[in-house]
């Protein structure tokens, strides 16, 4: 018995057609099927085997529970009615054009009821006996009065289906950051759980704008290669771990997934890399303390402090000839002096010379400090200046007359 996989509805439900007497169906061909919602137009995805059908059933059961709530299952068995005729396709196209006006009017009615929900999209069935509204909401909403107004406005049976934020991107469709259509609106049939641990194991930057999709959640593609990275990490220790040997400890700095190598640091500070396949052999050599265990270091891997001995040899500058053909010396300091100039003491160690702080003089006990008045205006009259000077003199005289009291004695 032939089994065909079909896709129907805006949320991209999957339907299995496995009936006898079905004609040969071509992938992409429109057909009319009978689902649990009613008759509707579906597209043939192709003929599949029994094992593939079991895989779809199993993956749909293991998928995330973030699908359509209180609605249709993501995968169901449907009945084949007929191959879509021209009249069926014409009626389906008219329904899609009517849905734009229905969506606009339904949002207007929603504003009158002041409900904490968002109408994402609407969908007519082929015979227009049912009208589905897909909405998102972060809380429980009582929309019974709103449904009565919708039924009175559109004169048909109304059904509201609550969907999640990931299903919103699936229904609305869009272009992902990679430049291709979103996987959920193109080929992905079930949402799998994704965690931040998958991103960390792939050595990706934890930038929300880079790892989040249009729905605001982690992108589904973060789980596509996770199994490969998980198998790779089973052979390797965690970054920051040490390989303790008789000749010292080797520190694991990280893993270069693209090059397939492990970055290490030797006891003397040399940075080098080892291929992932030969890491176990290298680890055994380190534990055994064998010679020649450090392979060729990476370019620019050794980090050494710069000193005056590392300067290049002096360059000999050819003499400059004047207009008469005579040799003259070039102006400016010689290159030998510039190259042989010793660095200052602070350059080698990286230390900075801090200026010496002046020690504050201790005030004698019992003597009050006199603060100088703050000058707010620079342009003052000469009379005001003379009065300020007389006040200062009087304060100084009064301070001189006061005797200094000693601790523990009478003044």
Please, what's the b/e burial string for 351-366 (b: 16 or more CB within 10 A of its CB; e: otherwise)? eeeeeeeeeeeeeeee
Q: What is the pLDDT of residue 231?
A: 82
Residue 70 region by backbone torsions, left for phi larger than 0, else alpha for psi between -120 and 50, else beta: left
Q: With contact defined as beta carbons under 8 Å apart, do 184 and 169 qualify? A: yes
* Model confidence pLDDT, tens digit, residues 242-293: 888 888 888 888 887 777 788 888 888 888 888 888 888 888 888 888 766 6
Q: What is the pLDDT of residue 343?
A: 47
Q: What is the pLDDT of residue 89?
A: 94
Q: Which residues of the chain have pLDDT under 50?
A: 64, 66-70, 297, 299-312, 315, 320, 329-351, 366-378, 405-411
The residues, ordered by sequence, that sit 6+ positions from 403 with a Cβ below 8 Å of its Cβ are 411
Q: With contact defined as beta carbons under 8 Å apart, do 143 and 115 qualify? A: yes
Q: What is the pLDDT of residue 23?
A: 86
Q: What is the pTM of this model?
A: 0.60
Domains of the chain: 1-84 (no CATH), 86-162 (3.30.300), 170-231 (no CATH), 237-288 (no CATH)
Q: What is the pLDDT of residue 22?
A: 84
**Which DSSP letter does residue 193 get?**
P
* Model confidence pLDDT, tens digit, residues 164-189: 888 888 888 888 888 889 988 888 87
Q: What is the pLDDT of residue 173?
A: 87
């Amino acid at each position: 018995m032939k089994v065909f996989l079909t896709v129907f509805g805006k949320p991209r439900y999957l339907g299995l057609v496995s009936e006898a007497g079905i004609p040969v169906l071509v992938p992409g061909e429109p057909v009319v099927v009978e689902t649990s919602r009613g008759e509707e137009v579906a597209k043939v995805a192709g003929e599949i085997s029994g094992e593939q059908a079991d895989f779809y059933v199993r993956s749909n059961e293991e998928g995330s529970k973030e699908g359509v709530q209180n609605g249709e299952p993501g995968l169901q068995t449907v009945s084949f009615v007929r191959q879509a005729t021209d009249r069926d396709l014409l009626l389906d196209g008219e329904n899609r054009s009517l849905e734009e006006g229905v969506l606009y009017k339904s949002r207007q009615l929603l504003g009158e009821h002041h409900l904490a929900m968002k109408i994402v999209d609407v969908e007519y069935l082929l015979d227009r006996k049912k009208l589905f509204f897909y909405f998102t909401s972060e809380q429980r909403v009582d929309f019974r009065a709103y449904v009565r107004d919708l039924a009175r406005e559109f004169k048909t049976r109304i059904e509201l289906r609550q969907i999640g934020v990931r299903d919103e991107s699936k229904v609305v469709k869009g272009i992902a950051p990679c430049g291709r259509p979103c996987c959920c609106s193109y080929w992905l049939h079930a949402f799998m759980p994704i965690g931040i641990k998958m991103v960390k194991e792939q050595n990706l930057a934890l930038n929300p704008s880079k790892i989040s999709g249009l729905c605001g959640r982690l992108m589904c593609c973060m789980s596509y290669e996770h199994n490969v990275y998980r198998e790779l990490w089973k052979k390797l220790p965690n970054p920051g771990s040490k390989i303790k040997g008789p000749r010292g400890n080797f520190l694991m700095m990280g893993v270069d997934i693209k090059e397939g190598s492990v970055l290490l640091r030797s006891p003397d500070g040399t940075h080098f890399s080892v291929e992932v396949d030969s890491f176990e052999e290298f680890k055994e050599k380190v534990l055994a303390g064998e010679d020649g265990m450090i392979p060729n270091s990476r370019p620019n891997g050794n980090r050494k402090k710069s000193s005056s001995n590392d300067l290049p040899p002096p360059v000999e500058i050819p003499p400059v000839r004047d207009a008469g053909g005579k040799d003259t010396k070039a102006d400016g300091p010689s290159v030998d002096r510039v190259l042989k100039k010793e660095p200052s003491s602070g350059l080698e160690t990286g230390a900075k010379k801090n200026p010496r702080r002046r020690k504050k003089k201790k005030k004698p006990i019992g003597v009050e400090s006199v603060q100088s008045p703050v000058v707010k205006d620079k342009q003052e009259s000469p009379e005001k200046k003379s009065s300020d000077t007389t006040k200062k003199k009087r304060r100084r005289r009064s301070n001189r007359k006061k005797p200094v009291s000693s601790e523990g004695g009478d003044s």
